[in-house]
Chain A
């Protein structure tokens, strides 16, 4: 069960890579697809559910592409 996950608006993304270097878990990569601007957008790649929801990727993204979700504790 994952504690947190992110979504990236790939149409807004300009492939600067700042989220990739900010992520302490190393779970963001560039997609092999293109967006309509011609960039390879960043995408989450977290098969082991390592995302902690720290928000570092969100904080460093200059184009406000990232939404971070955290599990609600019950």
Chain B
């Protein structure tokens, strides 16, 4: 009997071992981006702009060109790259501290300008790299090192909903929120990431995919329990689905 590979590490990953904690969803999303780059045949034509956060070395894990931007500035760096080299595909990879706190202005204005770049946004409701501080996306009542009694709306405001905020901006061509807690979610997320890249390739505008992700380490949960917590809490606060789709379904 002959056997053929059905699933293996995508070509666009470098093979370097990820530095993420056991069970952290950053790794799943990296793989999906690399699969998409392979399938769209973009490996020699794509640049990643990594953020500051746990994925600060993301460019090391992909076999593509890449750089890292100062905290929150990835969409500004990507804007410059894309305008200088419109023939290349440029994407930013950003956490919620990076994108929705210090980098809010860069992201919103890149979206509003309809910049032809793609953003993959990891929402794990916490600052992972720096040890579990409250993020703009932290849920009400959620305990973090800087909200030890639980986040309170009167003191710290409400969780920021990035998709709902930018969906009204006319420059946005594809926008979706998803998760990667089950194989079915992983397949859906892959479809969204592909569409986000296609929005850029077709010159339609800015695209962003928000992925609800686990941070088992700073949530203080096992990888399995972190998935359950995400399902039970984050999906209620952050509704999943496609918010903007100007790409359509035609191949």
Contact = CB atoms under 8 A, between A and B. Distances in A.
A62 B17 contact: no
Contacts of B4: 69-72
Given A12-B17, A59-B7, 18 more contacts: A14-B21, A14-B22, A17-B23, A55-B7, A58-B8, A60-B182, A60-B183, A62-B18, A62-B23, A62-B24, A62-B25, A63-B27, A64-B9, A64-B18, A64-B30, A67-B9, A69-B6, A74-B2
Interface of B: 1-9, 13, 17-18, 20-28, 30-31, 182-183, 186-187, 216, 222-224, 227
A14 B6 CA distance: 23
9 contacts: A17-B23, A17-B223, A58-B8, A64-B31, A67-B7, A69-B3, A70-B6, A71-B1, A72-B2
A15 interface: yes
A30 interface: no
A64 B223 contact: no
A60 B7 contact: no
B17 A60 contact: no
B22 A68 contact: no
A59 B6 CA distance: 12
Nearest to A7: B8
Contacts of B5: 67-69
B223 A56 contact: no
B224 A63 contact: no
A16 B223 contact: yes
B183 A72 contact: no
A18 B183 contact: no
Given A62-B28, A63-B17, A68-B8, A15 B3 contact: no
A29 B249 CA distance: 40
Contacts of A27: none
A44 interface: no
B65 to A, nearest CB: 20
Q: What are the 3 closest A-B residue pairs judged by CB atoms, nearest first?
A: A62-B27, A16-B23, A14-B22
Nearest to A24: B183
Contacts of A58: 7-8
B223 A72 contact: no
Contact of B1 (A1, A56, A62, A66): A1
A17 B17 CA distance: 17
A70 to B, nearest CB: 4
Contact of B183 (A39, A59, A63, A74): A59
A63 B1 contact: no
Contacts of A60: 28, 182-183, 186
Nearest to A1: B1
B18 A70 contact: no
Nearest to A16: B23
A64 B3 contact: no
A72 B28 CA distance: 27
